[in-house]
Homo-oligomer: A and B are copies of this chain.
Amino acid sequence: MKSDRYKTGWDKLAEIDGKQGEKVVEALKDIAPDFADLLIEFPFGDIYSRPGLDLKSREIATVAALTAMGTATPQLKVHVHGALNVGCTPQEVIEVMIQMAIYAGFPAALNGLFAAKEVFDERGLEISDYQDRVAHR
């Protein structure tokens, strides 16, 4: 039987990552199903469910960290989806990544932007949806 933390976590995962999160959990079934439980319980049940920081800010923090680290492209893409799901605009995601050039270097920012591009394409976002402003500074 699943714990309360699991149930809370599952709902939070669904709210943030939607289908993307479910796919990760599904993929873990063939190698470490226990870890899928831990992934739902701790990050989503314990952390993302905490009060004190709104979900949009939480996703900005995650996108920033994963872009800066540069070692977690699949997870970065899941959280670009997540950021958009909880209310970030594509521009905001792009701005976070551009800003990471300051702290983690241009390659980290570039690789983040190209990952974001893939997610925007998956979601059928039109370039004109988010480039008007940036194209005319």
B-binding residues in A (CB < 8 A): 24, 27-28, 30-35, 38-39, 41-43, 46-48, 50-53, 57-58, 60-72, 74-75, 91-92, 94-111, 113-114, 116-117, 120, 127, 131, 133-135, 137
A42's partner among B46, B53, B66 (CB-CB below 8 A) is: B46
Q: How far is it, in angstroms, between the C-alpha of A103 and the C-alpha of B51 when the chains are bound?
A: 19
| 23 sample A-B contacts, Cβ–Cβ < 8 Å, listed by A number | A31-B113, A31-B116, A31-B117, A32-B113, A34-B98, A34-B134, A35-B113, A39-B110, A50-B95, A52-B133, A57-B96, A60-B61, A61-B99, A62-B102, A65-B67, A68-B68, A69-B71, A71-B108, A74-B110, A74-B111, A102-B105, A103-B107, A104-B105
Of all chain B residues, the one with the shortest Cβ separation from A69 is B68
Is A57 in contact with B60, judged by CB distance below 8 angstroms?
Answer: yes
Residues of B within 8 A of A68 (CB): 65, 68-69, 105
Q: How far is it, in angstroms, between the C-alpha of A105 and the C-alpha of B66 when the chains are bound?
A: 11
A66's partner among B27, B28, B38, B103 (CB-CB below 8 A) is: B103
